[in-house]
Structure 1
Amino acid sequence: MTGREPVEATNLDRYDHPALLWSRADEALGAAMPSPAVTAFLGTVRPDGRPCSAGVGAVWLDTDLYFTSSPDARKARNLAANPACTFSVRLEGIDVVAEGEATRVTDQDTLRRIAAIYQEAGWPAKVEGGAFTAPFSAPSAGPPPWQLYRLRIATLFGVATAEPYGATRWRFEP
């Protein structure tokens, strides 16, 4: 693991299970994303304060989540007004909810690095003009280009759905 380590772990379990190890959530996220078999949900806030949720495909890299959006999509417009968001996913043996702020990525090295990860997973993303293009994407994604966003995690919750059970909150330095 080359990402950030949590600065605090709080056991949230009410049934006397010990706190979960951070490595369990980290490894589950790394093993599952990206994958077309894993559906994750991004929660954003509309300018009028109403919540919005959208399915996204994501990459877990160095304790950050990366996802794409059409610049015209509601989630991209919401993030432009308010970068606070959540990310929720059910993984093998653990449910995860992350909270943080998402910002658009325009750095060419990062774009190429994430495009290579998506390509390995079967999506032929290419970097063009500070975003991704490909011959296809999710049916609801709209036409290319698709911008890349990085969710910098502030807090992550894990609830084990397989032994060893438990529930833990991890906090990270900004």
Structure 2
Amino acid sequence: MTEATETKNLDRSGLATMPWSRARDLLATQTPHENLTFFVGTVRPDGRPHAAGVGAIWVDDTLYFVSGPGTRRARNLAANPACTVSVRLRGLDVTMEGEARRVTDAATLERVAAVYGEGGWPATVMDEGFTAPFMAPTAGPAPWHLYRLALHHAIGVATAEPYGASRWDFTR
């Protein structure tokens, strides 16, 4: 289970520190069944930022997302795996920071494809990636790459009670 090794209260109004379990549990219960849009931020080779919406899911305590191999996001991650992933969950906005690495092992691809299928995207494994009857129009042709986010930090800002703002650090 992904556990924070350190938690810092970012709330300046005296509210309590939020536990990482709040964000983790929302990720586990809201993906892939709710219509969430995740945004991945990467860095271009010249240092300029790039952000794009992706379909992401939380599987077995890990965040995964898909990208077409020719997309700006995939090219940026190939050169520099550092990225952010942000999402508005029910009652909590979360930004995760870490490194995204491509996943090619068959067992993980099959497991994640099955969970995507539970959410309505009928992905199947093809050539160390995914194929499906439909994908984002900007993704290019299949196979699409799967990425795993290795968490370094996350920040949560509550938009519902109990309110608060916290930063969670994870062992690298």
- Does the pair score TM above 0.5? yes
How is 1:157-168 mapped onto 2 (pairs within 5 angstroms)?
Answer: 157-168=155-166
- Matched with 1:68 is 66
Mapped partners of 1:15, 1:4: distance in 2: 28
- Matched with 1:171 is 169
Mapped partners of 2:45, 2:72: distance in 1: 10
The answer as to whether partners of 1:20 and 1:167 remain within 8 angstroms in 2 is yes
- Matched with 1:32 is 30
Distance 1:73 1:36, change over 3 A: farther
The answer as to whether partners of 2:42 and 2:73 remain within 8 angstroms in 1 is yes
Q: Is the partner of 2:65 in helix, strand or coil? A: strand
Mapped partners of 2:135, 2:33: distance in 1: 13
Once the two structures are superposed, residues 122-156 of structure 1 have per-residue CA deviations (whole angstroms, 9 ceiling, x without a partner) of: 11100011010111112322221101000111101
Q: Is the partner of 1:55 in helix, strand or coil? A: strand
Q: CA RMSD in A?
A: 1.1
Structure 1 runs, 4 residues or longer, greater than 4 Å off: none
Aligned residues: 172
Once the two structures are superposed, residues 39-63 of structure 1 have per-residue CA deviations (whole angstroms, 9 ceiling, x without a partner) of: 1100000000000001001111243
Identity of aligned residues (%): 60
- Matched with 2:82 is 84
Counterpart amino acid of residue 151 in structure 1: L
> By how many angstroms is 1:29 displaced?
1.0
Distance 1:92 1:111, change over 3 A: same
Once the two structures are superposed, residues 78-123 of structure 1 have per-residue CA deviations (whole angstroms, 9 ceiling, x without a partner) of: 0000000000111100000000000000011000000000011111
Matching of residue 115 in structure 1 with residue 103 in structure 2 = no
Mapped partners of 1:121, 1:168: distance in 2: 29
Unmatched tracts of structure 2, length 5 or more = none
- Matched with 1:16 is 14
- Matched with 1:49 is 47
Unmatched tracts of structure 1, length 5 or more = none
How is 1:142-161 mapped onto 2 (pairs within 5 angstroms)?
Answer: 142-161=140-159
Mapped partners of 2:140, 2:33: distance in 1: 20
Q: 2:133 aligns with which of 118, 132, 135?
A: 135
Instruction: Give the structure-2-normalised TM-score.
Output: 0.96
Mapped partners of 2:168, 2:112: distance in 1: 25
Q: Is the partner of 2:53 in helix, strand or coil? A: strand
> By how many angstroms is 1:34 displaced?
2.3
The answer as to whether partners of 1:63 and 1:153 remain within 8 angstroms in 2 is no
Mapped partners of 2:60, 2:90: distance in 1: 20
Distance 1:36 1:142, change over 3 A: farther
